[in-house]
């Protein structure tokens, strides 16, 4: 049986070989001084950008779940994120805003941002990431409602393809109390008024 560190080294080695090949196929000289360590750097960078597969967001929320008699909206807004679109493996990035209405339990505020980090560090589409964040909070805390809004720019739309530099995609998903238009409005007002 190989241990975790040996498995990681094998994974880096395998990725490194593949990136050497990719760099060659792109017409570059992998032995050029500036590129010699690039395959290994890219391998490690990609493992960082996809580290969310190794982490359990549910566990993160439960690790700081506190009994509390607060039943109003809790909002964590402007959570920066970077993700990779699963179609082009190019970054999409922006902000996530989360609100939930506790039902006996609250979670540590940083844990909401950690959940965003975990789901964004996977190959994603914005819609699925939005839904996964919502469902995870709903399952772990069983609140009276959750709402997630994601605003993002997609580099696959900026650097290539349609080449629109300023297009912003907004997605949202909600449950429970946020099915009421007035509750959604309260949240939207609080996140849009800086
Ligand atoms: N819905 C959604 N689409 C995304 C996301 N990220 C990238 N895309 C889109 O995925 C689509 C893939 O379409 P394809 O026609 O298969 O790929 P393509 O030929 O590279 O498309 P273009 O980008 O239009 O050049 C594109 O329209 C991208 O804009 C995302 O998070 N959500
Ligand atoms: Zn894309």
CA distance 109 to 143: 15
Is 126 tagged catalytic? Answer: yes
Write out pLDDT tens, residues 165-174.
999 999 999 9
CA distance 112 to 77: 10
The more confident residue out of 2 and 25 is: 25
Catalytic residue among 97, 136, 154, 186: 154
Which H or E run contains 99? strand 91-101
Answer whether 144's CB lies under 8 Å from 177's CB. yes
Q: Report the predicted TM-score, pTM, of the whole model to 2 decimal places.
A: 0.95
CA of 87 relative to ligand 1 center, distance in Å: 6
Q: Which atom of ligand 1 is nearest to the CA of 124?
A: 31
CA of 154 relative to ligand 2 center, distance in Å: 7
Is 193 tagged catalytic? Answer: no
DSSP code at position 104? S
What residues have CB less than 8 Å from 178, skipping those under 6 apart? 99, 145, 146, 147, 184, 187
Q: How confident is the model at residue 194 (pLDDT cuts 50, 70, 90)?
A: low
Write out pLDDT tens, residues 40-98.
999 999 999 999 999 999 999 999 999 999 999 999 999 999 999 999 999 999 999 99
Mean pLDDT of all residues belonging to the chain: 97
Farthest-apart Cα atoms in the chain, separation = 63
Catalytic residue among 20, 124, 126, 138: 126
- Asked if the model's pLDDT at residue 193 lies above 90, the reply is no
Answer whether 145's CB lies under 8 Å from 176's CB. yes
DSSP code at position 32? S
Take atom 5 of ligand 1 and give the residue whose Cα is closest. 125
């Amino acid at each position: 049986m190989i241990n975790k560190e040996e498995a990681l080294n094998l994974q880096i080695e395998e990725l490194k070989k593949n990136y050497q090949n990719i760099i060659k196929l792109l017409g570059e000289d992998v032995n050029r001084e500036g590129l010699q360590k690039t395959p290994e750097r890219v391998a490690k960078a990609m493992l960082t950008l996809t580290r969310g597969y190794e982490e359990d967001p549910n566990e993160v929320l439960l690790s700081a779940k506190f009994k509390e008699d607060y039943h109003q909206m809790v909002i964590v807004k402007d959570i920066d994120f970077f993700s990779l679109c699963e179609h082009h493996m190019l970054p999409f990035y922006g902000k996530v805003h989360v609100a939930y209405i506790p039902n006996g339990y609250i979670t540590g505020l940083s844990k909401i941002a950690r959940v965003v980090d975990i789901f964004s560090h996977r190959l994603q589409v914005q819609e699925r990431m939005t839904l996964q964040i919502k469902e995870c909070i709903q399952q772990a805390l069983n609140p009276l409602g959750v709402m997630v809004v994601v605003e993002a720019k997609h580099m696959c739309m900026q650097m290539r393809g349609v080449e629109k530099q300023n297009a912003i995609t907004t997605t949202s998903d909600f449950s429970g109390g946020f099915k009421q238009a007035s509750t959604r409005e309260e949240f939207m007002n609080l996140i849009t008024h800086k």
